Amino acid sequence: MTRVALVTGGSRGIGAAISIGLKNAGYQVAANYAGNDEAAQKFNAMSGIPVYKWSVADYDACAAGIKQIEADLGPVSVLVNNAGITRDAMFHKMTREQWKDVIDTNLSGVFNMTHPLWGGMRDRKFGRVIIISSINGQKGQTGQVNYSASKAGDIGFTKALAQEGARAGITVNVICPGYIATEMVMAVAEKVRESIIAQIPIGRLGEAEEIARCVVFLASEDAGFITGSTLTANGGQYIT
């Protein structure tokens, strides 16, 4: 039986690598995205993976999107909560909107996506929920009080929900990437990039495919005894 995997923010950056990694591992993949139609169409043409547009910050839109995907492809058994945004500002300058946008997407978005799928996973006695948090949710980061709080929240979410899912055959795990060579990171000035790399003991940025391989492993049958865990993939930059 081909399992269906749903990747939020699955059309660009780390999410695109995750979608492709899961497809190559034999899953039927659906990729969600928020609004960048051009990137989504390009991704669809390149990968053949169907794309679905809605915001994970909107509970009703998530429920409707999931319903559509399940009608098209069948029940979702692997959920990758990857969609995430930054709205950086020093705390004394941070607006309520910057706070709310980041919490709504990065933390409430994980609730909004996982909650409508949970009952089906429980009924079928199988599920994999994988959340992409961040090194900055573990260690905190200047200018990212909103982002660090949302990503730390994702880790707490994982630890609590893993306990509820265990007897129902559902594992819940979180991955904390360090700096990954996505368009966003590659777009910063070379000097800034070099100062980031200087903080990474392995001496380079991570690749999106390296995070994708973590996801493929956590989604597999082989990872059935792993739940509630935080998988750190940061080149040694922050060792917990």
Residue recorded with tokens 């800034």: 192
Binding mask 39-78 for ligand NDP (x = CB under 6 A): x---------------xxx---------------------
The CA–CA distances, whole Å, from 195 to 89, 135, 144, 163, 203 equal: 20, 17, 18, 40, 11
Binding status of residue 33 toward ligand NDP by CB under 6 A: yes
Q: Would you call 33 a catalytic residue per the annotation?
A: no
CB of 174 to ligand NDP, least distance (A): 11
Decide whether 7 or 161 has the Cβ nearer to ligand NDP: 7
CA angle 103-149-117, nearest 5°? 50
Cβ count within 10 A of residue 15: 28
Answer for the pair 82, 14: CB distance below 8 angstroms, yes or no: yes
Binding status of residue 36 toward ligand NDP by CB under 6 A: yes
**Binding range to ligand NDP, per CB under 6 A, among 31-39, 111-119, 213-221, 225-233:** 31-39
CA distance 226 to 162: 10
Who's near 68: CB < 8 A, 6+ residues apart? 52
Decide whether 121 or 205 has the Cβ nearer to ligand NDP: 205
CA distance 99 to 103: 6
33, 52, 147, 179: the catalytic one is 147
Decide whether 126 or 148 has the Cβ nearer to ligand NDP: 148
Q: Which residues are annotated as catalytic?
A: 147
**Residues in the site for ligand NDP, rule: CB under 6 A?**
8-9, 11-15, 32-36, 39, 55-57, 82-85, 105, 132, 134, 177, 179-180, 182, 184-185
